[in-house]
Amino acid sequence: MTLAGLLPALADTIHLSAVLPSEIQWSPEPKLPAWGAGSGQDDVDPIARFINLAQGVIVVLGIFGILYSAGKMAVGKLGRSEMAADGVGGVVWTIMGVSLMLVAVSVATTIAGV
């Protein structure tokens, strides 16, 4: 079967699945999220919560590092080639640093048994 024959059959299948009746239950009353056990918002395991926060900080620092390196490359495009080369090197260092920090978090969680 060729692609030209497959696409109309696929379109018919999608159309038929879209017109099938489905049960949708909707309540207009707002509900607060469940902050109890299992929701990730309790203080039962503060070490896991700290490690999750550390992972978030690592990702944010990585984003800042990439943006800083991109800024150096953009400035280097204006005639300062050594700054552009430094920006490219900064991207490599940032990616490697973030990768090592995330591996360290995985090692720490394995050792701590979290």
Reported as a single tens digit per residue, the pLDDT across 40-94 is: 555 567 777 788 888 888 888 888 988 888 888 888 877 777 888 888 888 888 8
Q: Are 108 and 47 in contact (CB under 8 A)?
A: no
Q: Are 51 and 108 in contact (CB under 8 A)?
A: yes
Mean pLDDT score, 18-43: 67
| Domain residue limits, the chain | 70-114
Mean pLDDT score, 98-111: 84
pLDDT band at 36; cut points 50, 70, 90:
low
Looking at the predicted structure, is the pLDDT value of residue 34 above 80? no
**CA pair distance 36, 76, nearest whole angstrom:** 52
Exposure letters 84-98 (e unless 16+ CB within 10 A, then b): beebeebbeebeeeb
**CA pair distance 60, 98, nearest whole angstrom:** 10
Reported pTM: 0.54
